[in-house]
Amino acid sequence: MDDRPHHTVAALSLTDAAFAPFGDIIKPRAGGQQFDRNFSYDPAAERTHVRLVMTNGEPCLRIMQIPHRGLVFTKIARHRRVSQCLGSLQGKEWFMAVAAPTDFADDAGPRLEDIRAFRIPGDRIIKLHVGTWHAGPHFTHDECLFVNLENEDTNTRDFQDVTLPVSCRIAD
């Protein structure tokens, strides 16, 4: 049991405007149009694409099977070299706590009042900006499968975490 004081972070709805300081939202879109001769298909011109930073290493796509985690966290982490994409594979709702990127030379971590949490629908993938602080994925299910796109060595060469001064709980 964690005896430290608790800080509650209210879960916000995932919208483009609210999530913009932390990353981008990848949403479902109609597919198969590249075979329609009556439709000019130019994926590079689409405004729904998100920009990834995967040039600082070897990109790696994984499926993570994570057991029940709950909504409490005591650490927050960031990656200074790569954007990261996460999404639930089974349509299950989940949560992510985030804070905007801070000065890379500053190792102190974000202030508690700068941490936000988002309720993420099971049909969305989030892309975190390089340097975005994050804790999660969190969920209340017994287990959850997640797709995770990052560099192969992200968690060994590009991982900075800090212990928060209090235990944080996402209020769903």
Tell me: cis bond preceding 43? Omega within 30 of 0 counts. Answer: no
- State pTM to two decimals: 0.87
Residue-wise DSSP of 95-124:
EEEEE----TT--S---GGG-EEEEEEET-
6-171: CATH, from 2.170.120.12, 3.40.190.10, 3.90.1150.10, 2.60.120.480: 2.60.120.480
Domain residue ranges in the chain:
6-171
Per-residue pLDDT of the chain (172 residues; tens, 9 = 90+): 456 678 999 999 999 999 999 999 999 876 666 666 666 666 666 666 677 776 778 899 999 999 998 999 999 999 988 889 999 999 999 999 999 998 877 778 999 999 999 999 999 999 999 999 999 999 999 999 999 998 888 888 888 999 999 999 999 8
Place of tokens 């109609």: 30
